[in-house]
Amino acid sequence: MNITIIAVGKLKEKFMKQGIEEYHKRMTTLANVKIMEVADEKTPDQLSEKEQEQVKDKEGERILAKIPQQAYVIVLDLKGEMLSSESLAEKLNHLALHGKSKVVFVIGGSLGISESVRRRADFLWSMSKLTFPHQLIRVIVMEQVYRAFQINRGSSYHK
């Protein structure tokens, strides 16, 4: 399976980079994993709603340009469906069994995701009702994808 994670902005914190590198290394025998960053827009504090939408639209255009046409797209979104780790494993297993070998996870910027990216999504996934820094979500997605593969292999990692 080919997994791509498209995320807005550069990862800055060393500990987050190390976490992603660790899970990326663990995934090498399980799937081909690629992480792609797209530039984020500058977001001054006092943006109007219209300006916020413009920022998300520009970031969304960059995201959409990176998504292969045949890919199954999972967008992280507060309005999405919450999944257990086992449900995510089931979903990935189902996709693999039904010929969906390219799966793209999309992580928006600090303002969220554009409507155009939401429309491109095959599935909207909400991690939690909690608010997380979008950079931390990258580490969590990597860990959950790794966990899903371990669940599907019958490994004890996920317990």
Q: Is 130 assigned a ligand-binding role in the annotation?
A: yes
Q: Is 1 assigned a ligand-binding role in the annotation?
A: no
Q: Is 112 assigned a ligand-binding role in the annotation?
A: no
Q: Is 127 assigned a ligand-binding role in the annotation?
A: yes
Strands of the 102-107 sheet, one edge to the other: 32-38, 2-8, 102-107, 72-82, 123-126
User: Would you say 149 and 96 are in contact if contact means Cβ atoms under 8 Å apart?
Assistant: no
Chain centroid offset of residue 138 CA: 7
Per DSSP, the three-state class of 47 is: coil
Q: Residue 141: which of 25, 12, 4, 10 has the closest Cα?
A: 4
Q: Is 34 assigned a ligand-binding role in the annotation?
A: no
How many Cα atoms within 13 Å fall on the side-chain side of residue 11?
20
- CA dist 79 and 131 (Å) reads 12
Q: Is 16 assigned a ligand-binding role in the annotation?
A: no
Residues annotated within a binding site: 76, 108, 127-132
Residues annotated within a binding site for S-adenosyl-L-methionine: 76, 108, 127-132
